[in-house]
């Protein structure tokens, strides 16, 4: 196989956990800021450049950089496009609040020009313009469908941002791509940049010239290229990948029709694009399909019977599996090899057999031709990784972190992928899957800083100086997942309770820890979170209302929105028999409000005014499942609402993100949680009606839970806005 030459790059800039969904929007949104998707700073060839269109409206007029361009029709929308060789993803973004209004995808219609980049380049040279016209026609059709679905007109789209590999991007912008297919495999844009006639490989063009159905005065932007076939999509990846200050070597693998591989450290990076073809995106495989709900994501042979799992945990009632996505195909190859049903060359054990029936009841088969196409794609991925590793001067065991990017990363079994030679044998503990939380539909995600304070590190026997570094990396991890998702998602800076003995706090101590020490520990984490650019601070799983007040007093110095969440245990009141909620330190929701109002930390001033959101999270320890998970959250919000009403406090949003029930061990001694995504989502209407404004998941919840919550919220649609 002829491998395109790698490219050396220097750049800066790891993944995270989900937890929160914003159920509705409001004109007084405490988290509102300018839309990040079209205003953030991106790394370019010569440093940085801002994609900052500043589309605004006032007095019935729409302005672009303070220049009037249109009358205001009721919406300001932007369109973010990721143009892949096989699939095109379009995100409609509300420029007034930064929210993603619609996410849609469609097959790239250019397949008649070939399934891979080199064939597309050849076809475009012979039939110039045909590929582009087919893409624009499909995009315009998608735009009109989105307009109809969301009840607006195309003239309300004022900005378009494009990412994609070099060939896809340049075809879209009407540039000749023949030079990309010939040595030295560089686009005309890159040639011009290297010759000094262009200051950046980013592109900007008018909508009218490109024929896109948007406002005639709208502009179209593209992200910069890296080099050669390593395009704007990888630029977006690298902006968000954090590189340790030391000489640790990291690796990025973004699997697609063209798989991009990056290896490097803070001093030097090497990148390459591998012509893998569309097999692991479902192309060229008779029963292959993208990673959509219902696709088979893993298989297992047990006693001659093929068992399988579909994306989403289970197929919706009445729906049957349609095929296998990339992770399912990798799983299938691994199982066939383990069970000696296929040779390393892709030949079935029965050499005369051409087609294997996988699921006869659903008509799904797997052929030798399918195996051959997968083998070629696998070889391209594997060779690309080894060539880049060798060029950088290292081997797989030297990789401290392998970032597996994109939707593919959500489902692939690492052992299967390494076993069949799809991924370089990097230790599984060093592999980080990025992008899953935001793709699941979350509007906000939490940084993994719950126990990042020096007090926790001291208990764990770790270096206290790591607290700030770990906090910074956690925010970078969050930004990575957001960048991979292509969506605009809020980052919640997570602040957990101080460690210590379970005892009532009193005097100048909290949990037996001097208040001064607790304050300094919270201050380090909170201020670092603010410096790194989180959107709001989430003080969570607080056992003590007093410590919550102390943390609020520190957090208000940042002037960021603050959420305060206590975790409760349920108890039965002897006198009335009612179930009441108390923390381990005996605090009720009403106690929290009282202590925030009258506290010892703020010079007699109420801290309640600094708090935007109050809620419950985690879960009460109970043997009875009805007192955990969503039922726990509903009861907690009910009691919090009562406390707010009794004290006459209004203007506060209520928040709930419980555990998925209580953990237990299954027959294989794996920890599992008792409440399924479907079960938890069934409580969403009641939780909203009780008053919860922000809903999400804590321990045991997964991207599948969050997706189910999102769908339940979307179908509810009738909760009032405060």
Q: Which helix (H) or strand (E) holds 159?
A: strand 157-164
| Per-residue pLDDT band at 402 (split at 50, 70, 90) | confident
Four-point Cα dihedral 75, 233, 401, 453, nearest 10: -20
Confidence category of residue 513, pLDDT binned at 50, 70, 90: low
Which of 102-106, 113-117, 297-301, 664-668 is the least confident region? 664-668
Q: What is the mean pLDDT of residues 358-372?
A: 88
Q: Where are the domains of the chain?
A: 34-239, 249-277+379-432, 284-374, 435-716
pLDDT band at 258 (very low <50, low <70, confident <90, very high): confident
617 phi and psi angles, rounded to 5 deg? -150, 180
Lowest-pLDDT choice from 2-11, 347-356, 599-608 = 2-11
Whether the per-residue pLDDT at 230 is higher than 80: the answer is: no
Q: What is the pLDDT of residue 43?
A: 35
φ and ψ at residue 143, rounded to 5 degrees: -60, -45
Percent of the chain residues past pLDDT 70, beyond the cut: 77
User: Which residues touch 31 (CB under 8 Å, ≥6 apart)?
Assistant: 22, 444, 490, 535, 536, 561
Confidence tier at 583 by pLDDT (50, 70, 90): confident
In terms of pLDDT, which residue wins out, 314 or 167?
Answer: 167
pLDDT tens digits, residue range 522-549? Answer: 999 999 999 988 989 999 988 888 889 9
CATH of 435-716, one of 3.20.20.330, 1.20.1250.20, 3.40.50.10780, 3.90.440.10: 3.20.20.330
Coil, strand, or helix at residue 291?
coil
560: nearest Cα among 454, 675, 447, 636? 447
Least confident span in 161-165, 204-208, 272-276, 618-622? 618-622
State yes or no: pLDDT of 503 exceeds 70: no
Does residue 436 register a pLDDT over 70? no
Please tell me the predicted confidence (pLDDT) of residue 239.
54
The reply, when asked if residue 538 is annotated as ligand binding, is no
Cβ–Cβ under 8 Å, residues 437 and 483: no
A 10 A CB-CB count for 351 gives: 9
pLDDT in tens, 182-206: 888 788 888 888 888 888 888 889 9
Least confident of 165-174, 337-346, 418-427, 668-677: 668-677
Beta-carbon contacts of 273 under 8 Å, excluding residues fewer than 6 positions away, are 4, 165, 228, 229, 230, 231, 258, 259, 260, 261, 384
What per-residue confidence (pLDDT) applies to 127? 92
d(CA 210, CA 399): 43
Mean pLDDT within 151-164: 88
Instruction: Give the dihedral of Cα atoms 567, 572, 574, 576; nearest 10 deg.
Output: 100
Using the 8-state DSSP alphabet, how is residue 506 labeled?
A: B
Structure-block tokens of residue 557? 């110095």
Rounded-to-integer distance, Cα 166 and Cα 144, Å: 27
Dump pLDDT digits (tens) for 69-95: 899 898 899 888 888 887 788 888 888
Query: For residues 296 and 325, is the Cβ–Cβ distance under 8 A?
Result: yes
The pTM assigned to this predicted structure is: 0.50
Q: Determine the Cα–Cα distance for residues 679 and 665; give it in Å rounded to an integer.
A: 20
Q: What is the pLDDT of residue 713?
A: 84
- Model confidence pLDDT, tens digit, residues 675-707: 888 899 999 999 988 888 889 988 888 878 888
Polymer length in residues for the chain: 722
Q: Which helix (H) or strand (E) holds 179?
A: none
Q: How many CA atoms lie within 13 A of 30 on its CB side?
A: 23
Is 383 flagged in the annotation as binding? Answer: no
The mean per-residue pLDDT over the stretch 56-80 comes to: 87
Q: What pLDDT is stored for residue 152 in this prediction?
A: 92
Which pLDDT band, with edges at 50, 70 and 90, does 469 fall under? confident
Query: What backbone torsions phi and psi does residue 65 show, to the nearest 5 degrees?
Result: 50, 45
Containing 335, the helix (H) or strand (E) segment is helix 326-338
Q: Would you say residue 426 has pLDDT above 60?
A: yes
The answer to whether 699 is annotated as binding is yes
Q: What are phi and psi of 168, to 5 degrees?
A: -60, -40
Identical fold between 34-239 and 249-277+379-432 = yes
Percent of the chain with pLDDT over 90: 15
pLDDT at 538: 92
The CATH architecture annotation of domain 34-239 reads 2-Layer Sandwich (3.30)
| pLDDT confidence band for 44 (50 / 70 / 90) | very low
- pLDDT higher than threshold 60 for residue 428: yes
The whole-number pLDDT of residue 617 equals 87
Gyration radius of the chain's alpha carbons: 27
pLDDT higher than 60, residue 316: no
Q: Which CATH superfamily is domain 249-277+379-432 in?
A: ATPase, nucleotide binding domain (3.30.420.40)
CA distance 226 to 466: 33
Lowest-confidence segment of 269-273, 371-375, 661-665 by average pLDDT: 661-665
CA-to-CA distance for 442 and 267, rounded, in angstroms? Answer: 34
Classify 544 as helix, strand or coil.
coil
Pair of tokens at residue 85: 């060789």
- In this prediction, residue 702 carries a pLDDT of 80
């Amino acid at each position: 196989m002829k491998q395109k030459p790698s490219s050396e790059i220097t750049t800066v800039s790891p993944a995270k956990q989900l937890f929160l969904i914003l159920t509705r929007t409001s004109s007084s949104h405490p988290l509102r800021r300018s839309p990040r998707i079209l205003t953030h700073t991106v790394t370019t060839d010569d440093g940085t450049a801002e994609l900052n269109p500043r589309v605004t409206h006032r007095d019935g007029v729409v302005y672009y950089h303070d220049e009037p361009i249109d009358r205001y029709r009721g919406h300001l929308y932007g369109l973010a496009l990721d143009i892949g060789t096989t699939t095109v993803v379009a995100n409609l973004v509300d420029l007034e609040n930064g929210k993603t209004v619609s996410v849609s995808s469609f097959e790239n219609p250019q397949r008649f020009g070939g399934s891979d980049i080199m064939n597309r380049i050849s076809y475009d040279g012979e039939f110039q313009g045909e590929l582009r016209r087919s893409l624009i026609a499909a995009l315009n059709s998608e735009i009109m469908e989105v307009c109809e679905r969301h009840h607006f007109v195309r003239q309300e789209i004022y900005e378009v941002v494009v990412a994609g590999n070099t060939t896809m991007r340049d075809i879209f912008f009407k540039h000749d791509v023949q030079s990309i297919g010939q040595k030295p495999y560089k686009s005309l844009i890159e040639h011009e940049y290297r010759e000094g006639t262009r200051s950046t490989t980013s592109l900007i063009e008018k909508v009218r010239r490109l024929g896109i159905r948007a406002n005639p005065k709208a502009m179209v932007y593209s992200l910069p290229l890296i080099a050669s076939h390593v395009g704007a999509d990888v630029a977006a990846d690298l902006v968000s990948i954090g590189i340790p200050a030391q000489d640790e070597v990291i690796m990025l693998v973004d699997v697609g029709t063209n798989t991009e591989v990056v290896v490097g450290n803070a001093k030097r990076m090497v990148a390459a694009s591998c012509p893998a073809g569309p097999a692991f995106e479902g192309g060229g495989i008779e029963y292959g399909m993208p990673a959509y709900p219902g696709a088979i994501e893993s298989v297992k042979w047990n006693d001659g019977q093929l068992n399988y799992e579909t994306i989403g945990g289970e197929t919706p009632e009445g729906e049957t599996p349609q095929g296998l996505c990339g992770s399912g195909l990798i799983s299938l190859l691994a199982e066939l090899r383990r069970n000696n049903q296929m040779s390393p060359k892709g030949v079935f054990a029965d050499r005369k057999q051409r087609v294997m029936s996988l699921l006869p009841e659903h008509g799904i088969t797997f052929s030798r031709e399918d195996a051959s196409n997968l083998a070629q794609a696998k070889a391209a991925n594997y060779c690309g990784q080894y060539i880049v590793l060798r060029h950088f001067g290292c081997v797989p065991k030297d990789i401290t972190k392998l970032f597996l990017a994109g939707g593919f990363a959500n489902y692939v079994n690492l052992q299967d992928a390494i076993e069949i030679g799809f991924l370089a044998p990097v230790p599984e503990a060093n592999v980080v899957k990025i992008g899953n939380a935001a793709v699941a539909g979350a509007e906000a995600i939490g940084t993994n800083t719950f126990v990042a304070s020096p007090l926790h590190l001291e208990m764990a026997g770790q270096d206290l100086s790591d607290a700030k570094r770990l906090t910074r990396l956690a925010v970078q991890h969050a930004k990575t997942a957001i960048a991979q998702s292509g969506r605009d998602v809020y980052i919640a800076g997570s602040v957990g309770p101080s460690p210590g003995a379970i005892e009532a706090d009193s005097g100048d101590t909290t949990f037996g820890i001097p208040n001064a020490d607790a304050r300094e520990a919270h201050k380090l984490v909170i201020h670092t979170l603010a410096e790194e650019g989180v959107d709001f601070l989430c003080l969570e799983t607080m056992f003590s209302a007093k410590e919550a007040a102390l943390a609020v007093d520190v957090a208000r110095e940042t002037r960021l929105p603050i959420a305060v969440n206590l975790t409760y245990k349920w108890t039965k009141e002897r006198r009335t028999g009612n179930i009441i909620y108390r923390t381990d330190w005996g605090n009720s929701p009403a106690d929290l409000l009282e202590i925030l109002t009258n506290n010892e930390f703020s010079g007699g001033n109420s801290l309640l005014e600094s708090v935007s959101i109050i809620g419950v999270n985690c879960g009460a320890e109970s043997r009875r499942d009805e007192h955990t998970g969503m039922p726990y959250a509903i009861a907690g919000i009910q009691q919090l609402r009562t406390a707010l009403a009794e004290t006459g406090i209004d203007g506060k949003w209520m928040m709930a993100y419980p555990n998925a029930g209580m953990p237990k061990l299954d027959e294989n001694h794996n920890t599992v949680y008792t409440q399924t995504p479907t079960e938890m989502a069934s409580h969403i209407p009641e939780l909203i009606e009780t008053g919860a404004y922000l809903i999400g998941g804590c321990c045991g919840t997964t991207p599948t839970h969050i997706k189910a919550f999102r769908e339940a919220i979307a179908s509810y649609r009738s909760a009032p806005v405060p």
